[in-house]
């Protein structure tokens, strides 16, 4: 590692080797050469064998991975054109094939088709991570589907839910992301062989005005590059609208992860749930007792960066004048790899956290006991009416005691004594024991949370994960995934 120059943290700290390799310079140039070979093969097969011979193609294939990066860099410094610099470097290794490398093509033939190939592969890596996160969360939701916990709205105590039910909310966000990602995959197709401004003029000249051969060339090149379809029309580049939608899809994953990470940080503060904490992990350089949710905090920061990228892509899309302008080049070199690397880093963290989250039931119970007397007031009210009391009169009494109990909690720091206050009021037809029985079973306040979780996992999540069984990691056997 060269410590004398700036190193991109996404590469040096956060992302997987697979994603790093995919967007490496070597992979990019290897894919350029794959595009040049596909073009030569298609030209040969469609009747230009007198110009593009099998011997030339064999030579190109033989030296496809023999890349002289130093020579290409030296040539680029001279001519200020990266594609032609690599055409030159490739030609030096393939002297017989040198005359036909890049024949009839524009630079964006290799650049765009390569971008599309790499993004297609990158989306598959993202999808693998995404479904594994969903599987982890499904396992966790199933385990804690019935554990009552305090719900929050406005970050204020609300009706109880269950830990598993809350987790289904995170799963649902990610399943929407998976839907959007798979739809995006259907939109990715080859740029194909379209020529300088998309009119295929040079290829039409090569094939002596044979329009059908030119159309076949476009289709055949796309097929050789692994695509089922090619864009029917382009300017010099494939439509930058696709980049915009790709960025939005990845940013959506970032937003889902951000919501989960912030919730985890809040739950950590309450000491009811935590992310995994390594045995020798240091929480703070000064405060030895601290267990900071550092992975969730990192997820939040990375997601914030990812969620900001779509604005760049939409601006690039909107500013492509006519057939193309070059202001898209520099920013895409940075933002496309970054978008995928950020999504990769976020999902790797998400997988790590969701695989071993820690729950503290006693702490959860403590919060429930603090708030349930307030939440049980409607139940107490209904039970009082059944004993012949006036609903309106009871409502006023309960409200008075609830406000007094709340004031005691907030201003004096004492325990919630609402039940004791109600029991001492002769107008309330219940003993303290009877009132405590009304809130003794936390589950009664969670509605259908447990059943909703079971239904959601069995009816929605598991069928959606079924096609991915081969790429899922360790999953709770009870889920039958």
| pLDDT, position 405 | 81
49 is catalytic: no
| pLDDT, position 287 | 45
279 and 353 Cβ atoms separated by less than 8 Å: no
pTM for the whole structure:
0.91
CA pair distance 216, 227, nearest whole angstrom: 14
pLDDT-derived band at 473, boundaries 50, 70, 90: low
Domain termination residue (choose one: 100, 118, 133): 100
Is residue 466 included in any domain, yes or no? no
CA pair distance 136, 83, nearest whole angstrom: 44
Which among 12, 49, 284, 480 is annotated as catalytic? 284
Q: What percent of the chain has pLDDT over 90?
A: 74
pLDDT-derived band at 20, boundaries 50, 70, 90: very high
Is residue 465 included in any domain, yes or no? no
- For residue 1, pLDDT over 70 is answered with no
Q: Are residues 333 and 225 in the same domain?
A: yes
Looking up residue 425, the CATH number of its domain turns out to be 1.10.40.30
pLDDT-derived band at 480, boundaries 50, 70, 90: very low
Q: Are residues 91 and 114 in the same domain?
A: no
| pLDDT, position 290 | 53
- For residue 279, pLDDT over 90 is answered with no
Q: Are residues 112 and 259 in the same domain?
A: yes
- For residue 247, pLDDT over 70 is answered with yes
Residue 428 structural domain: 364-445
Which among 154, 183, 390, 480 is annotated as catalytic? 154
Of the candidates 241, 244, 235, 245, the residue with the CA atom closest to the CA atom of residue 321: 235
- The predicted model gives 27-53 an average pLDDT of 98
| pLDDT, position 7 | 85
Domain termination residue (choose one: 327, 359, 391): 359
Helices (H), 159-239: 163-187, 201-206, 211-224
Q: Are residues 209 and 260 in the same domain?
A: yes
30 and 65 Cβ atoms separated by less than 8 Å: yes
Q: Are residues 343 and 228 in the same domain?
A: yes
| pLDDT, position 412 | 86
For the chain, the domain total comes to 3
Angle at 448 between CA 268 and CA 445, to 5 degrees: 65
Could you give the dihedral angle defined by the CA atoms of residues 348, 351, 353 and 358, in that order, rounded to the nearest 10 degrees?
Answer: -170
- The predicted model gives 405-420 an average pLDDT of 84
258 is catalytic: no
> Mean pLDDT over all residues of the chain?
92
Could you give the dihedral angle defined by the CA atoms of residues 232, 233, 234 and 240, in that order, rounded to the nearest 10 degrees?
Answer: -70
């Amino acid at each position: 590692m060269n410590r004398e120059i700036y190193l991109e943290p996404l590469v040096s700290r956060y992302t997987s080797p697979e994603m790093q390799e995919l967007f490496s310079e070597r992979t990019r140039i290897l894919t350029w050469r794959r595009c040049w070979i596909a073009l030569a093969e298609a030209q040969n097969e469609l009747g230009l064998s007198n110009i593009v011979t099998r011997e030339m193609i064999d030579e190109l294939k033989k030296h496809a991975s023999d890349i002289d990066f130093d020579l290409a860099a030296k040539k680029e410094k001279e001519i200020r054109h990266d594609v032609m610099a690599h055409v030159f470097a490739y030609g030096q290794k393939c002297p017989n094939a040198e005359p036909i490398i890049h024949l009839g093509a524009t630079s964006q033939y290799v650049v765009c088709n390569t971008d599309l190939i790499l993004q297609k592969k990158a989306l598959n890596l993202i999808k693998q991570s995404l479904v594994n996160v969903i599987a982890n969360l499904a396992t966790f939701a199933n385990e804690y589907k019935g554990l009552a916990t305090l719900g929050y709205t406005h970050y204020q105590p609300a009706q109880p839910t269950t830990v598993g039910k809350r987790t289904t909310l995170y799963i649902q966000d990610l399943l929407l992301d998976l839907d959007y990602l798979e739809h995006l995959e259907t939109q990715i197709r080859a740029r194909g062989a379209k020529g300088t401004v998309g009119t295929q003029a040079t290829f039409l000249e090569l094939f002596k005005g044979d329009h059908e051969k030119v159309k076949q060339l476009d289709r055949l090149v796309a097929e050789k590059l692994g695509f089922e379809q090619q864009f029917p029309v382009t300017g010099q580049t494939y439509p930058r609208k696709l980049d915009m939608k790709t960025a939005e899809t990845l940013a959506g994953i970032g937003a889902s992860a951000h919501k989960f990470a912030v919730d985890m940080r809040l739950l950590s503060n309450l000491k009811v749930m935590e992310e995994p904490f390594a045995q020798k992990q240091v929480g703070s350089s000064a405060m030895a007792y601290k267990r900071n949710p550092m992975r969730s905090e990192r997820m939040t920061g990375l997601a914030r960066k990812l969620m900001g990228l779509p604005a760049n892509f939409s601006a690039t899309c909107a500013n492509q004048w006519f057939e193309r302008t070059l202001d898209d080049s520099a920013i895409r070199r940075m933002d496309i790899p970054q978008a995928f690397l950020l999504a990769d880093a976020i999902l790797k963290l998400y997988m790590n956290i969701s695989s071993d989250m820690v729950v503290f039931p006693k702490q959860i119970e403590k919060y429930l006991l603090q708030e349930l007397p307030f939440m049980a007031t409607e139940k107490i009210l209904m039970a009082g009416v059944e004993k012949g009391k006036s609903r309106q009169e009871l409502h006023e009494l309960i409200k008075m005691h609830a406000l007094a109990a709340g004031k005691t909690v907030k201003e004096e720091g004492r325990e919630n004594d609402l039940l004791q206050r109600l029991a001492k009021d002769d107008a309330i037809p219940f003993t303290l024991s009877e009132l405590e029985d009304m809130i003794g079973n936390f589950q009664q306040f969670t509605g259908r949370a447990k059943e909703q979780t079971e239904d959601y996992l069995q009816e929605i999540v598991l069928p959606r994960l079924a096609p991915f069984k081969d790429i899922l990691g360790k999953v709770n056997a009870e889920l039958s995934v």
